[in-house]
């Protein structure tokens, strides 16, 4: 399976046993993508983890 990077539109190969919520990295631009749906195959830019600084 392949998906299109939402940033640079490159083809990104997904692992054979890929599942929803899995993170993959675009080989062209390095953007971290999250698989949000397998049917239809949909990826989005993964949210950046923010530090809460103990709040």
pLDDT digits (tens, 9 = 90+) for 27-55: 999 999 999 999 999 999 998 776 666 65
Predicted TM-score (pTM) of the model is 0.80
What CA–CA distance (Å, rounded) separates 54 from 33?
Answer: 27
Cα 12–chain centre separation: 9
Cα 38–chain centre separation: 12
Residue 51, number of CB atoms within 10 A of its CB:
6
What CA–CA distance (Å, rounded) separates 34 from 24?
Answer: 6
- Look at residue 23 and tell me whether its pLDDT is greater than 70: yes
21 within domain boundaries: yes
CATH number of the CATH domain containing 26: 2.20.28.160
55 within domain boundaries: no
User: What's the pLDDT at 1?
Assistant: 86
Domain count, the chain: 1
- Look at residue 12 and tell me whether its pLDDT is greater than 80: yes
- E strand spans, the chain: 2-4, 11-13, 23-25, 32-38, 41-45
User: What's the pLDDT at 55?
Assistant: 57
Print the domain residue range for 40: 2-45
17 within domain boundaries: yes
Average pLDDT of span 17-22 = 92
């Amino acid at each position: 399976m392949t998906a299109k990077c939402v940033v640079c539109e490159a083809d990104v190969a997904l692992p054979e046993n890929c599942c929803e919520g899995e993170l993959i990295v675009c080989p062209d631009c390095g953007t971290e993508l999250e698989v949000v749906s397998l049917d239809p195959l949909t990826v989005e830019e993964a949210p950046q983890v923010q530090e809460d600084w103990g709040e």
